[in-house]
Amino acid sequence: MYNAVLAFPADFDGWREAARRALALGTRPEDLSFTVGEAAPGLFAEPLPDQVPDDAAQPTVPRAFPDLARKMVCHADEDRFSLAYRLLWRLSGERRLLEIASDPDILRATQMVKAVHRDSHKMKAFVRFREIEDSALGRHSVAWFEPFHHTVELTAPFFARRFAGMIWTILTPERSAHWDGEALSFLPGATRDMAPGDDDMEALWLTYYASIFNPARLKVKAMTAEMPKKYWANMPETALVKPLIAGAKAAERRMLETAPTLPSFRHAKQEERRAMSLPRDEMPIGRDEAALPQTIAEAREAAEECRACPLWEPATQTVFGKGPDDAPVIFVGEQPGDQEDIAGEPFIGPAGKVFDQALAAAGIDRRQAYVTNAVKHFKFEPRGKRRIHAKPTMGEVKICRWWLNQERRLVRPKLIVALGATAAAAVLGKTVTIKATRSTLIDVDADTRLLVTVHPSYILRLPDAAAKARETEAFEADMALVLRTVPELAVGG
Amino acid sequence: MPTLDLRQKLAILSDAAKYDASCASSGAAGRNSVKSKGIGSTEGSGICHAYAPDGRCISLLKILLTNFCIYDCAYCVNRSSSNVQRARFSVDEVVALTMNFYRRNYIEGLFLSSGIIKNSDYTMEAMVRIAKKLRLEENFSGYIHLKTIPDASPALLEDAGLFADRLSVNIELPTDLTLSALAPEKDARDIRRSMGHLRAKIEEHRGEKRDRLKPKRFSAGGQSTQMIVGADLSSDDDVLTRSENLYGNYRLSRVYYSAFSPIPDASSKLPLAKPPLMREHRLYQADWLMRFYGFQRAEIVAGGEGGMLDLTVDPKLAWALKNRARFPVDVNRADREMLLRVPGLGTRAVKRILSTRRHRTLRLDDVARLCQSIDKVRPFVTALDWSPGGLTDEDGLRDRFVPRAKRAASQLELF
């Protein structure tokens, strides 16, 4: 029967050193006890020998064990050191022990670590500093705190990281921590009367505590679950808890019984000012109004309010076309995607990148063209933090065609490029296949021709690199055809 | 008007801020004052420094810069037509209060919101000035959350994101229609565009994984929003549809649900009765099920009746009671997705089950040690020594989970 003596209640390094020696000596868990400081060991225990056999193997443990043990030894339980040693002992035979959450030793260790975590967390939360002017140290922040486990060493580094620019001391009955602005040191325990009695900020803190409380939703149990009464003694605001609860029902009743009052004079004046400053033509131009938009800017503004189909509701905004009012070419895509919906501009996402590359390869300046979509709102299915593109129905395309027609009427392009089948259908008013219409110039009216090609996202989705290269080439060839048809689009043109 | 002292202003402007549910201080980038020799740190998880008798956590100094407001939103205590007492902090007062509270370890940082005075930019500019001063002059590394104003200029939002850990815009109500009815000056489209703008900025500043030199973090704690529940006639389905949309569209870190609570000098447009606080709680549970348990919104809503969640039992249990054909689940064989659907098993319990069963076959006792309450779990699982037999399909199963006193009353009256 051996006994190991540790320096202080959460002496992890001392425990580790002793545990290694005991393991090397083959000491069974039931033959080893631990005592802290001056405490008397058991009657028959002899001190753990300093020397270990030279051939003793260095024990190895799972990576998670040292951290577990470090937290365990902070627990108030007297058996904490023995239990930690028993786990170490068992680990040499049961390598996977830590993963068996239902094992009684592991369960107890987990509970201990949880309790230590909680106590340490509550210490971070509930320590209240009071400031004093110290002739030697200057402004000195001092707190009195009573932890329920041996958590001072574990938690003090948190305060050092947080209050590095202050000089502070946390006094507790067992161990005290001090930060001098440079380094952390631990001092012996203290008593409550060594801490300052009050602080001039406390009155304001109490005012805040009372005012932020909402008497209409009293939930005392929820409060005490998170702020157990055992911590209250050292928190000034808890003196208010009783009177606030007592006054809550009355405060709520008063609030409900007081009849609504008439708005103030200030409010009336403000309303008057607002009414004066509203623009006269505030009414948005509705689709059913007789007046059609006269410019692209007007059409864009009107489209912002469009609710002709249900797609507006889940989307962020209407993504209208972008480009010069008199562009010679309109590129029409299917619908905006995730990024277009956020930014409010067409073809800026991944498909837009493919589109831009093809234009660059063909020597087309995108700024000279008008770029838009057949459907102006993003249609999608929500999937957690992602939005999955959903194909617009022909009904939705038909409804939104009204806006595309306004764009065509106002821009009056020589050429329309339909990117994909949805765009082609929106321009032609009937469904066509890409295969049948691709890469040929189709007359749609006296002044305008149509070129149908694939949508750039089609190229993006191809899994096979060879197919991707082939389709990119074909798409670039179509863009080259666009430039031959409308040479004004050339870069620098 | 008599001049108010700091204590009176604090009373008015924190009272005015308490209807904002969020007080989270989590999610910020790790940061401390060791090198700067200043004050403050954020280490990922938030800290609640106190709890009020309403059960809410007090983590931040949650105040308004001013409760003067030119808007007249019916649900808001600070609306322009209300006769609550008004006050306004100066920039320096807010900075000094924050530092003084922080030095005493009362708070994790500042949550600053404001009524709108003059115009959006004027107000936003003052808020940004406070954040900037805290960071640059006071050497403050604690948490800062700014409630942004939807139509403030992008340049101001940009500044705000560089100094704050979290930005948020409140969506306020579950549908655009009720928003325009109750908040005539607010435009749901502006709010969404603003959230979209924030998402774009946050993502742009996050940088690529392989980037050596990361760009400066922008609102590292992400963005959040708040929805008021029970001020209009929207169903829980409406509320959850809105959240699902917001999480997907703008990658929000959190949607907060705030049960409409009576406010002083309330507008006559509002309901007089408050919704049960339990409704708010159930919505949070449903939100969690959508985000961490792999439930679809429609499944959760179908657990209740008529688009409303069951107030008496939690939404996971409500779903399980209506889908008993999928139970019992074998705790020794079922996959993670199905274990997560067992009432009474949380994400942590499931993780421990998965880890333990690699080494031994679980008995019911083992499961009991790994979860909070085995009573809830028992009818829905099988283990080495346990099969629920007819219990899973028993007619009275639901009643077992409802405390007798509450069985009669459909709504919980809080005392």
What distance in Å separates residue A74's CA from the closest CA in chain B? 21
Residue A176 backbone dihedrals phi, psi, to 5 degrees: -120, 150
The 3-state DSSP class for residue A328 equals: coil
What distance in Å separates residue A241's CA from the closest CA in chain B? 7
H or E segment at A6? strand A2-6
Tokens 């002059």 correspond to B137
Asked whether residue A341 is domain-assigned, the answer is yes
Contacts of B10 in chain A (CB under 8 A): 204, 207-208, 211
The residue among A90, A122, A154 that closes a domain is A122
CB within 8 Å: B40 and A162: yes
Q: How many domains does chain A have?
A: 4
Task: Report the alpha-carbon distance of residue A85 to residue A108 in Å, rounded.
Answer: 13
Contacts of B28 in chain A (CB under 8 A): none
Residue A191 backbone dihedrals phi, psi, to 5 degrees: -125, 160
H or E segment at A168? strand A167-171
Tokens 């219409």 correspond to A437
- Digits of tens for pLDDT over chain B (415 positions)? 568 999 999 999 999 998 887 778 887 778 899 888 999 999 888 899 999 999 999 999 999 999 999 999 888 889 898 888 999 999 999 999 999 999 999 999 999 999 999 889 999 999 999 999 999 999 999 999 999 998 888 899 889 999 999 999 999 899 988 898 899 888 888 899 999 999 998 988 887 666 666 667 888 888 999 999 988 889 999 999 999 999 999 999 999 998 887 777 777 777 767 788 899 999 999 999 999 999 999 999 999 999 999 999 999 999 999 999 999 999 999 999 999 999 999 999 999 999 999 999 999 999 999 998 899 999 999 999 999 988 988 888 988 888 765 555 544 444 4
The residue among A194, A223, A239 that closes a domain is A194
Bond from prior residue into A173 cis (ω within 30 degrees of 0):
no
Asked whether residue A74 is domain-assigned, the answer is yes
In terms of residue numbers, what domain contains A78?
2-122
CB within 8 Å: A267 and B80: yes
CB pairs under 8 A between A and B: 248
Q: Between residues 215 and 244 of chain B, which touch chain A (CB distance below 8 Å)?
A: 244
Q: Looking at chain B, which residue has its C-alpha nearest residue A305?
A: B189
Given a contact cutoff of 8 angstroms between Cβ atoms, the answer to whether A371 and A378 are in contact is no
Task: Report the alpha-carbon distance of residue A134 to residue A464 in Å, rounded.
Answer: 74
Contacts of A208 in chain B (CB under 8 A): 10, 14, 61, 101
- Tell which of A211, A338, A345 to mutate to test the B interface (max B CBs under 10 Å): A211
Spans in chain A with pLDDT lower than 70:
256, 258-260, 274-290, 493
Asked whether residue A393 is domain-assigned, the answer is yes
What distance in Å separates residue B251's CA from the closest CA in chain A? 6
Task: Report the alpha-carbon distance of residue B65 to residue B118 in Å, rounded.
Answer: 13
Q: Looking at chain A, which residue has its C-alpha nearest residue B53?
A: A220
CB within 8 Å: A314 and B245: yes
Contacts of B263 in chain A (CB under 8 A): 255
Same domain, residue pair A134 and A208: no
- B1/A contact by beta carbon, under 8 A: no
Amino acid at A389: H
Q: How far is CA B272 from CA A161, A415, B73, B182, B215, in A?
A: 49, 61, 16, 15, 50
Given a contact cutoff of 8 angstroms between Cβ atoms, the answer to whether A84 and A78 are in contact is no
- B11/A contact by beta carbon, under 8 A: yes
- Pick A267's closest partner by Cβ from B81, B244, B248: B81
Asked whether residue A263 is domain-assigned, the answer is no
Same domain, residue pair A118 and A93: yes
Report the CATH number at residue A476.
3.40.470.10
Tokens 């895509």 correspond to A333
Q: What is the predicted pLDDT for the residue at A383?
A: 84
Q: What is the predicted pLDDT for the residue at B1?
A: 54
The 3-state DSSP class for residue A201 equals: coil
Task: Report the alpha-carbon distance of residue A62 to residue B63 in Å, rounded.
Answer: 48
Same domain, residue pair A381 and A232: no
- Kindly list the structural domains of chain B, giving each domain's residue range(s) and its CATH number in brackets, ordered by start: 6-275 (3.20.20.70), 276-415 (no CATH)
- Pick B39's closest partner by Cβ from A96, A107, A165: A165
Asked whether residue A290 is domain-assigned, the answer is no
Same domain, residue pair A378 and A240: no
Contacts of B139 in chain A (CB under 8 A): 165
What does the buried/exposed string (b/e) look like for B335-374 if buried means 16 or more CB atoms within 10 Å of the residue's CB? eeebbbbbbbbbeebbebbbbbbeeeebbbebbbbbbeeb
What distance in Å separates residue A261's CA from the closest CA in chain B? 6
- Pick B268's closest partner by Cβ from A260, A316, A317: A260
Same domain, residue pair A86 and A153: no
Q: What is the predicted pLDDT for the residue at B82?
A: 87
Same domain, residue pair A349 and A440: yes
- Pick A212's closest partner by Cβ from B18, B70, B200: B18
Task: Report the alpha-carbon distance of residue A100 to residue A191 in Å, rounded.
Answer: 43
The 3-state DSSP class for residue B167 equals: strand
Same domain, residue pair A118 and A135: no
The residue among A102, A122, A142 that closes a domain is A122
- Tell which of B48, B104, B111, B292 to mutate to test the A interface (max A CBs under 10 Å): B104
Task: Report the alpha-carbon distance of residue A123 to residue A141 in Å, rounded.
Answer: 16
Cα dihedral sign for A321, A323, A328, A332? Answer: negative
Residues paired with residue B166 on neighbouring β-strands, in sequence order:
B145
CB within 8 Å: A385 and B247: yes
Q: What is the predicted pLDDT for the residue at B411?
A: 47
Task: Report the alpha-carbon distance of residue B43 to residue B141 in Å, rounded.
Answer: 11
Given a contact cutoff of 8 angstroms between Cβ atoms, the answer to whether B342 and B332 are in contact is no
Asked whether residue A71 is domain-assigned, the answer is yes
Contacts of A121 in chain B (CB under 8 A): 47
Q: Please provide the distance, in angstroms rounded to a whole number, between the alpha carbons at the two ends of chain A.
A: 95
CB within 8 Å: A164 and B32: yes
CB within 8 Å: B195 and A199: no
Closest of A76, A87, A99 to residue A173, by C-alpha = A76
Q: What is the predicted pLDDT for the residue at B261?
A: 78
- Pick B48's closest partner by Cβ from A226, A237, A341: A226
Q: How far is CA A253 from CA A213, A257, B232, in A?
A: 16, 6, 22
Same domain, residue pair A118 and A132: no
Same domain, residue pair A118 and A134: no
Q: Looking at chain B, which residue has its C-alpha nearest residue A225?
A: B55
Which residues, including other chains, have CB under 8 Å from residue B387's CB and lie 6 or more apart?
A: B328
CB within 8 Å: A219 and B53: yes
Q: What is the predicted pLDDT for the residue at B214?
A: 60
Task: Report the alpha-carbon distance of residue B305 to residue B328 in Å, rounded.
Answer: 24
Asked whether residue A206 is domain-assigned, the answer is yes
Same domain, residue pair A442 and A333: yes
Asked whether residue A68 is domain-assigned, the answer is yes
Angle at B298 between CA B347 and CA B239, to 5 degrees: 90
- Pick B50's closest partner by Cβ from A162, A227, A317: A227
- Pick A260's closest partner by Cβ from B70, B265, B274: B265
Same domain, residue pair A67 and A185: no
Q: Between residues 320 and 349 of chain B, which touch chain A (CB distance below 8 Å)?
A: none
CB within 8 Å: A214 and B10: no
User: How far, in whole angstroms, is CA A198 from its chain's centroid?
Assistant: 39
Could you count the other beta carbons within 10 Å of the beta carbon of residue B196?
20
User: How far, in whole angstroms, is CA A22 from its chain's centroid?
Assistant: 47
Q: How far is CA B141 from CA A40, A334, B33, B41, B96, in A?
A: 47, 47, 6, 5, 15
